Structure 1
Amino acid sequence: MATDRLILRRFRASDAPVLAAYRSDPDVARYQSWDAPFDREKAETAVRNFAASSPDEAGHFQYAVELTGERRLIGDVYVRLHDNLRQAEIGFTLDPAYQRRGFAFEAVSAVLDRLFRVQGLHRVTGECDARNTRSAALLERLGFQREGLLRQQTFIKGEWTDDLLYGLLAPEWLDR
């Protein structure tokens, strides 16, 4: 899948060092389930698992986000397709060197387009730590509606955190 500036593709073994590097950034890991540093062995295992999954089958799939001109991995977009193949959850991570330039918006938009237009999904959800205002703002720019706040929902990195819940329906995306 491609946009004007990006290629969204399956992960490959050569992506492991770059994945380890941006996931090792403490600012990137702050609101995520992994800890920094994210060592190369973990990255190699993650990349193998990412490459073995399918975007068309129920379960987890991770798109590698590559900058077209540089042929460089700059992030990833996560999709968990529900068993009914009509709903999914989405998440995203971007190398800090490529943030604030519209790449995350572009990548997630491409994935949403595939989910709604090609795969025929009815609903996509997103969830983020309530302190992660930049991720919440991105979801809102994409058209997601804030549907809830789960107070002290997640115990992560030694503390209880609030989670924001977002949802996007097919007609909301398709009618944009």
Structure 2
Amino acid sequence: MLLQTPRLDLRRFRPEDAPALAAYRSDPTVARYQGWTAPVTPAQATELVRGFAAGDPGQPGWFQYAIELRADGRLIGDLGVCLHENLLQAELGFSLAPEHQGHGYAAEAVRAVLRELFEQRGLHRVSAECDTRNRSSARLLERVGFLVEGRRPEYTWLKGEWTDDLLFGLLADRWARTAGGTRPSW
């Protein structure tokens, strides 16, 4: 296991994750603000899982954590970290199956990854961005300590329309001062 919380295991992807990944990434509400288009076919999911499993979380580039519910071992989402070449900053993004949204799982997973990045690896900065209409993701980022650093009007052409992007940043000293936003009980 790469990271654990009381309710979640954040681990490397495995071949048997492909059907669950295809299911939640095929949901139009999950794909709405993401760079992929639903549906994600079983073959595409198999290829994605193969690529995710080959990643190295300690090397520059994207690494995708599988978010698994500890209670029953189900894959409920994924969280990606793009480590910069300088190994001192990263960007993150996340997706969660609709039936598991609203239970605090995404915030729990993001906090676990941020704790690892700041407290174990010594990163200086982590950033994120989202479509301005994606209020639930924006609220989550703010809840775990990110600050809104800017708005880029009509910056991204996505799925046939121009979208506004919100830019978020979190510095190591703010993480240390705020203990990751509202301190989780775990």
Question: What's the TM-score bracket when you normalise by the shorter of the two chains?
Answer: over 0.9
Determine the C-alpha separation between the residues in 1 that align with 2:165 and 2:153.
Answer: 7
Counterpart in the other structure of 2:154: 152
Determine the C-alpha separation between the residues in 2 that align with 1:65 and 1:152.
Answer: 32
Deviation at 1:118, TM superposition (A): 0.9
SS in 1 for 2:87: coil
State the one-letter code of the partner of 1:12.
R
6, 11, 14: which one aligns with 1:12:
14
8, 31, 35: which one aligns with 2:33:
31
Counterpart in the other structure of 1:55: 57
State the one-letter code of the partner of 2:134.
N
Counterpart in the other structure of 1:101: 103
SS in 1 for 2:13: coil
Deviation at 1:8, TM superposition (A): 0.3
Task: Report sequence identity in percent.
Answer: 59
Determine the C-alpha separation between the residues in 1 that align with 2:167 and 2:44.
Answer: 28
71, 89, 101: which one aligns with 1:69:
71
SS in 1 for 2:91: strand
Counterpart in the other structure of 1:115: 117
Determine the C-alpha separation between the residues in 2 that align with 1:139 and 1:112.
Answer: 11
Determine the C-alpha separation between the residues in 2 that align with 1:42 and 1:119.
Answer: 32
**Corresponding position: 1:40 with 2:35:** no
Deviation at 1:174, TM superposition (A): 1.8
Deviation at 1:69, TM superposition (A): 1.0
TM, length-normalised to structure 1: 0.99
State the one-letter code of the partner of 1:62.
Q
For structure 2, list consecutive stretches of 5 or more residues without a partner in the other structure.
180-186
Counterpart in the other structure of 1:135: 137
State the one-letter code of the partner of 1:50.
F
Determine the C-alpha separation between the residues in 2 that align with 1:55 and 1:136.
Answer: 25
SS in 1 for 2:4: coil
Output one character per residue of 1:115-148: Cα deviation in whole Å (capped at 9) or x when no partner: 0011110000000011100000000001100000
Determine the C-alpha separation between the residues in 1 that align with 2:146 and 2:67.
Answer: 21
TM, length-normalised to structure 2: 0.94
